[in-house]
Amino acid sequence: MSVERAQHLIAKRLAEGLNELEGQELERLLEAHPMLEKEEEWMAKVWEKTDHQGSWTPDSEMAWTKVKGKITPSIELPSKKRGLGMNLIKIAAAAIILVGLAFVLRTTFQKNSTPSVYTNLEKAPEIMDMTDGSQILLSSKAQITFFPAVKEERKVRLEGQAFFDVEKNAEKPFIIETAEARIRVLGTSFDVHSENQQTVVSVTEGVVEVSSLDSREKIRLVAGENTIVGVGMELVKENETKFSFEEYNDLLSFSDLPLTEVFERLEWAYAYEFVWDSDKLNSCSLTGNFADKEINEVINILRSALSIESHQIAGKQVILSGGFCQ
């Protein structure tokens, strides 16, 4: 017998209730030791006071938004984003490159969920890893929308520019739709370039099926072939690819690269078109690394390297005046 035993029984009576034997034991203790009544009163008071839950209630709506933000990527979408500076080398066997100022892509990965939209607000391209193993290199300002699965397909819509590395999966084809074209990946590596209401698809590896949304015409492209899709245009195969896959491995780092190609890569990465008025620049080559640089830094480097007199940014154009190279 002890105070502890009495406290134990009182606590149990408060929290859970006592069985008959325990009740009798407590009664005997209380009768035998009147001082315990004070203890009982204390315990009851404490018990009563602990009932106070406090007025705090979490904001479930806001919390749910946070949780939703965390779970959505892990199911269907990019699980992480990285800067371009890292390793494009990882971009493996199957790659699609989509380039354009205003074009639309669609792919389907999600089930039972509303479309989710991601916009690259950074000033440099971002790599997004997707759970199916595919990767998207999303250029600055580009927006990608992932749609709920309709069939067993992976499908996205994209506005702006992007580079896709598609993991081969025969059971779940990767579908890309632009405003002009629908592109079906059959396990491959290729570029899609869409701008000014045209989509250019250039295949560097494997097989790609391209259909025109306008004419419903369909064409198959293999490595080394490209085609242009647009309203009122016939689909024609051409033998030229704009970029090789290897060039994308090191997109913004180059050595003695003709300036026109440098501009092409910068346009791709920054979503700005470069325009210049000096013919002297046409024969120039550049060595440099623009990875992780913002557009203004890029312009400053170009200005000093090429002795450019002035520049102007007009909408999506960077206009360079003057300039030459030694």
Contacts with another protein by CB under 8 A lie at 1-4, 7-12, 14-16, 33, 35-36, 38-39, 42-43, 45-47, 49-54, 56-58, 60, 63-64, 66-68, 70-71, 74-75, 111-113
When the beta carbons of 60 and 304 are compared against another protein, the nearer one is 60
In whole angstroms, the minimum distance from the beta carbon of 48 to another protein comes to 10
In whole angstroms, the minimum distance from the beta carbon of 64 to another protein comes to 5
Closest CA to 312 of 303, 301, 304, 320: 320
When the beta carbons of 48 and 217 are compared against another protein, the nearer one is 48
In whole angstroms, the minimum distance from the beta carbon of 37 to another protein comes to 11
In whole angstroms, the minimum distance from the beta carbon of 77 to another protein comes to 13
When the beta carbons of 13 and 242 are compared against another protein, the nearer one is 13
154 close to 173: Cβ distance less than 8 angstroms: yes
In whole angstroms, the minimum distance from the beta carbon of 169 to another protein comes to 17
Residues 219-252, buried b or exposed e (16+ Cβ, 10 A)? bebebebbbbbbeebebeeeeebbbebebbeebb
Closest CA to 147 of 183, 101, 114: 114
> 3-state class of 100 per DSSP?
coil
When the beta carbons of 51 and 171 are compared against another protein, the nearer one is 51
Beta bridge partners of 321: 310
Residue partners of 324: CB distance under 8 A and separation at least 6: 278, 280, 281, 284, 306, 307
Question: Tokens representing 191?
Answer: 């570029």
In whole angstroms, the minimum distance from the beta carbon of 46 to another protein comes to 5
DSSP run (H or E) holding 43 = helix 35-50
When the beta carbons of 15 and 236 are compared against another protein, the nearer one is 15
Residue partners of 303: CB distance under 8 A and separation at least 6: 311, 320, 323
> 3-state class of 195 per DSSP?
strand
In whole angstroms, the minimum distance from the beta carbon of 24 to another protein comes to 17
CA 96/CA 69 separation, integer angstroms: 27
When the beta carbons of 2 and 326 are compared against another protein, the nearer one is 2
When the beta carbons of 43 and 137 are compared against another protein, the nearer one is 43
